[in-house]
Chains A and B, each alone.
Chain A
Amino acid sequence: MRIVFKTDYMQDIRPWKDGYQLSLYLILLAFMIAAPYLVDDFYLGEITNVLVWAIAGLGLMVLTGHTGQASLGHAAFLALGCYANIILLEAGMPFMVAFPLAGLITGAVGVLIAIPALRMHGIYLAIATMAMSILTDDIIVLTEPWTGGVVGKFAPPVNVFGVMIDRWGTPKEFYWLILGVTVLITLGYINLLRAPLGRSFIAVRDSEVSAQAMGIDVARTKAISFGISCAITGLGGALMGLYATTFNNETFSVVISIQLLMMIVIGGLGSIHGAFFGAIVIGFLPQFLSISKEYVGAVFGGGTVAIPGLEFGVFGLILIVFILFEPMGIYGRWLKIRTWFELFPFYRKNMFKRKKSYLKTERVR
């Protein structure tokens, strides 16, 4: 059993509980930095993919997990970030400027869209954002002179501190670039959550009426959350474009929006960990399925026919299982296991039991 004694406010204000937890994260970071020397280029590419998805997931997590506003339209912001980045690069802007600018543009557009969209609640907001995601395809085709329409675009190698980086030519450097961005975004996210703004997101998520009574401007807070969410998603989109190296109007379809939302639900809404856990599932599910398909084929002699939509179907199934049995997602399960070890042998079964809750904010108004 591990007990953390608290003697100073800073122990709650700084992001780690104690030296033990800090060292665990530092070890994890060390492993992540060393990954290019530990795994081959194929798996390094897979890990890179997971990190890119994690960034996109962090973006949606701000809005959905922490502010309680569902969006089925975030693929549109992935697309916006991706195209903005490439168009700025093609205009001759250096990557170190184009990339953050792509995030800022996406965030600004997000705020503009948020102002009308966030008058809607719950399912209506989800439907409206989904419609936006469906429209994205057409908009990309219509703005063909900039976006390349159905032909699409190529991601050029990018210059980071004088090093030319591209996904196939320099997979190690590309991985470090993505890892660096992931770490920076995660640190910013952690900072927000321990500051007033992050708490006001949580307040708006859990009870709009009492958030207002505490002096929080709900509409403004939602718009800021939408902006931050879209900015991070835009950065994720820009990196997704570099990772895919080629993309067109169909790359960021509404299916990606749905997948992103499913991902953070499975990972665990309302936690930074959740975005990463979800991304790991998304990233490794295709691998896992193709291996198990081969295995099933070998056992039953059925051959390895491709089953259309299998991946998405299995993903949906996992989602349903989680919603039924572990609404707090993988992160919730992880917390329980960790608490079990920390409190051993004092863990009680009903420790994480929660009262049934419903969408409170829709009640008083």
Chain B
Amino acid sequence: MSLLDFQNVTLKFGGLVAVNDLSFSVEEGEVFAIVGPNGAGKSTVFNLISRFYDPYAGSIQFDGHDLLRSKASGVATFGVARTFQNIELFDHATVLQNLLVGRHRHRSTNLLSELFFTPSVRKQEIQNRHMVEEVIDFLDLQPYRDSLIAGLPYGVRKVVELGRALATGPKLLLLDEPASGLSVEETTDMRWWIDDIRRQMGITVLMVEHDMGLVSSVSDRVLAMADGARLALGTPKEVQSDPAVIEAYLGHVA
């Protein structure tokens, strides 16, 4: 069985069909990319997986769980982490605090023990910190550990958001346009990180990305969407040479 199964999902915003009877599945261990013009419904697919919207029809299965029966906050506990197209960090907290929030799904203490900061809370905090430090080392975030998000450059925030998702210790990582707004060097870093995340950490990656260079160099399979529906699905090469995809990107050739 696939890690993520997205079957015949339809979502409407009023009269607009944002996702139209869309099906795809992501296999464990692969990097799966979704491409498509703006407004194709790519971010909406992510928001459906995150349970921010209820689909009109269809089913979404993750790792043996029916996501549609879960609350939005339950999705993370199954092992799905994500980033947002317009960075959504905790702006008035430090980088360290942001990453530590990523550990929330592993919380085993309660209000009372935290109020007294019992030894078990202390132990859990040291453990959390240890995991977070590994992420900090991996993404070279050491200089920013104690900086507030609000003062950080865009590129760094993008990396912090990736770090926060990694800190949750996910099975599946959803990246919504990880390279948008990044410089050429930053994009190169991002490419290596995505590669390492898959190879070293064994995390499955589902990403939305416009940079076709990045997409073809890191992904195993690509789904091309337009108007909420599937245009093509296959290896990056196959999708790039698909006539329907070329038409969607270049418009009708008379």
List residues of chain A with CB under 8 Å of any chain B CB: 9-10, 12-13, 188, 191-192, 194-200, 202-203, 205-207, 209-218, 224, 228, 270, 352-355, 357, 360, 364-365
Contact status A199-B92, CB under 8 Å: no
- Bound state CA distance, A364 and B52, in angstroms? 9
Contacting residues, chain B, for A214 (C-beta < 8 A):
76, 81, 101-102, 104-105, 164, 168
Task: Specify the main secondary structure of chain B where it touches its partner.
Answer: helix
Contact status B114-A13, CB under 8 Å: no
Q: 20 more A-B contacts (CB under 8 A) besides A188-B115, A213-B75?
A: A9-B126, A9-B133, A13-B125, A188-B116, A194-B117, A194-B125, A195-B109, A196-B100, A196-B104, A196-B124, A199-B100, A203-B93, A207-B90, A212-B50, A213-B72, A214-B81, A214-B105, A353-B151, A355-B91, A360-B91
CB < 8 Å A-B pair total? 130
Q: Known contacts being A199-B104, A215-B76, A218-B73, is A192 close to B91, with CB within 8 Å? A: no
Contacting residues, chain A, for B128 (C-beta < 8 A):
196
Contacting residues, chain A, for B122 (C-beta < 8 A):
13
Q: Known contacts being A195-B117, A196-B104, is A357 close to B91, with CB within 8 Å? A: yes
Q: Known contacts being A191-B115, A270-B92, is A13 close to B126, with CB within 8 Å? A: yes
Question: How close is B151's CB to chain A, nearest CB, in angstroms?
Answer: 6
- Bound state CA distance, A211 and B75, in angstroms? 12
Contact status B90-A215, CB under 8 Å: no
B107 interface residue (CB < 8 Å to A): yes
For chain B, give the interface size range: 35 or more
Contacting residues, chain B, for A210 (C-beta < 8 A):
84, 88-90, 164
Contact status A196-B92, CB under 8 Å: no
B191 interface residue (CB < 8 Å to A): no
Question: How close is A254's CB to chain B, nearest CB, in angstroms?
Answer: 29
- Bound state CA distance, A224 and B112, in angstroms? 12
Q: Which of A191, A194, A196, A270 contacts B103 (CB 8 A)?
A: A196
Residue of B nearest to A199 (CB): B101
- Bound state CA distance, A353 and B152, in angstroms? 10
Question: How close is B129's CB to chain A, nearest CB, in angstroms?
Answer: 5
- Bound state CA distance, A212 and B151, in angstroms? 24
Q: Known contacts being A200-B104, A354-B150, is A206 close to B114, with CB within 8 Å? A: no
Contacting residues, chain A, for B114 (C-beta < 8 A):
191-192, 195-198
B10 interface residue (CB < 8 Å to A): no
Question: How close is B106's CB to chain A, nearest CB, in angstroms?
Answer: 9
Identify 23 residue pairs between A and B in the complex whose beta-carbon atoms are under 8 Å apart, listed by A's number.
Answer: A12-B96, A12-B129, A196-B100, A196-B114, A196-B124, A199-B97, A199-B101, A202-B92, A202-B97, A205-B90, A206-B89, A212-B73, A213-B84, A213-B88, A214-B104, A214-B164, A215-B77, A215-B168, A228-B111, A354-B151, A355-B91, A357-B91, A360-B91
- Bound state CA distance, A264 and B111, in angstroms? 24
Contact status A192-B115, CB under 8 Å: yes
Contacting residues, chain A, for B81 (C-beta < 8 A):
213-214
Residue of B nearest to A351 (CB): B151
Q: Known contacts being A188-B115, A210-B84, is A200 close to B101, with CB within 8 Å? A: yes
Contact status B82-A202, CB under 8 Å: no
Q: Which of B76, B88, B168 contacts A207 (CB 8 A)?
A: B88
- Bound state CA distance, A365 and B53, in angstroms? 9
B118-154 interface code vs A (CB 8 A; 1 in, 0 out): 0001101110111001000000000000001011000
Contact status B91-A9, CB under 8 Å: no
Contact status A196-B89, CB under 8 Å: no
Q: Which of B202-250 contact A (CB under 8 A)?
A: none
B150-174 interface code vs A (CB 8 A; 1 in, 0 out): 1100000000000010001000000
Contacting residues, chain B, for A218 (C-beta < 8 A):
73
B65 interface residue (CB < 8 Å to A): no
Contacting residues, chain B, for A195 (C-beta < 8 A):
109, 114, 117, 121, 125
Contacting residues, chain A, for B164 (C-beta < 8 A):
210, 214
B71 interface residue (CB < 8 Å to A): yes
Question: How close is B47's CB to chain A, nearest CB, in angstroms?
Answer: 8
Contact status B109-A196, CB under 8 Å: yes
Residue of A nearest to B79 (CB): A215
- Bound state CA distance, A357 and B87, in angstroms? 13
Residue of A nearest to B71 (CB): A217
Contact status A206-B130, CB under 8 Å: no
Contact status A206-B93, CB under 8 Å: yes
Q: Which of B50, B90, B103, B115 contacts A202 (CB 8 A)?
A: B90
Question: How close is A200's CB to chain B, nearest CB, in angstroms?
Answer: 6
Residue of B nearest to A206 (CB): B90
Q: Known contacts being A197-B114, A199-B104, A212-B50, is A360 close to B88, with CB within 8 Å? A: yes
- Bound state CA distance, A355 and B149, in angstroms? 10
Contacting residues, chain B, for A364 (C-beta < 8 A):
52, 88
- Bound state CA distance, A9 and B128, in angstroms? 10
State the 8 A-B residue pairs at the shortest beta-carbon distance, nearest first.
A215-B76, A195-B114, A215-B105, A206-B90, A210-B88, A191-B117, A217-B73, A354-B150
